[in-house]
Amino acid sequence: MKVPSLILTALLIALATAVSQAQRIPENAVTPSEKSRHTAFMRQIKDGKGDFDFVLIGDSITDAWPDRGHDSYARFAPWKPLDLGISGETTEQVLWRLLNGELNGIHPKIVMIMIGTNNLGIDPDEKPERVAAGIKKIIETVHAKQPQAKILLLAIFPRGATSREVNRQRVDEVNKLLPVLADDKNVFFMNIGPKFLDSQGNLPREIMPDLLHPNGNGYKIWIEAVRPKLEELMGSPLAPAAAPAASLAPGTSTQIPTKTLSK
């Protein structure tokens, strides 16, 4: 029984090698290959000649907005947005990027920050004070590198189905420490988390299917919750919301019914 197994293994290795060789050219091993999102951001900034008025900083929740919430993200177009969100990142990883060039060569009017949930997700022993300290350092770094920019700091979004979930409670503990980071002159704080919850404090899957990341409906809630403050700080309006699809019946709305949202 061992011989056929060895033969099969050898055949699989040979096949994998052949496929690999077919996909490669002699120059591959000596040609630098772009794989870093940081490098991609730096190229995006250079290609755009730094002409971005609105910068978003965060993790996967921010990163996914242009794709999962395409219609709502498109409303930022008049402000020439730059989305610097990367999936899975913690406060310290964001700090590294900001200190290594992602805030260079740009002069935004507003920087919106929402970060910290991954600190809690990867370390069950992470202390709220540590997460808040990381967020504070990010704010200080943004302000030092972009003193003209107004900063809108958002509380970490709720996660988990109910208020009894451990991770929901840990998020709440961090959020309690964040308002003092705002001075209402250069840094402003908003907790829009309740907008995503129903009247019982539950997080509907119709808004965050995995109880962490918004879908298109969740991003519409996000943009409407921050729109008044952002427009005030920017001094100009967002693009209008897209009209409902023509296939919908008259009077049908694509928005989440208001009765499902907390007041």
Question: Annotated catalytic sites, by residue?
Answer: 60, 210, 213
DSSP state of 259: G
Q: Is 198 helix (H, G, I), strand (E, B) or coil?
A: coil
CB 31 within 8 A of CB 68: no
Helical segments of 51-182, H only: 60-63, 65-68, 70-73, 91-97, 117-122, 128-145, 166-175
The burial of 4, by beta-carbon neighbours within 10 Å (0-12 exposed, 13-18 middle, 19 or more buried), is given as exposed
CB 103 within 8 A of CB 75: no
The burial of 214, by beta-carbon neighbours within 10 Å (0-12 exposed, 13-18 middle, 19 or more buried), is given as buried
**Residue spans of beta strands (DSSP E) within the chain:** 54-58, 81-85, 110-114, 150-154, 187-190
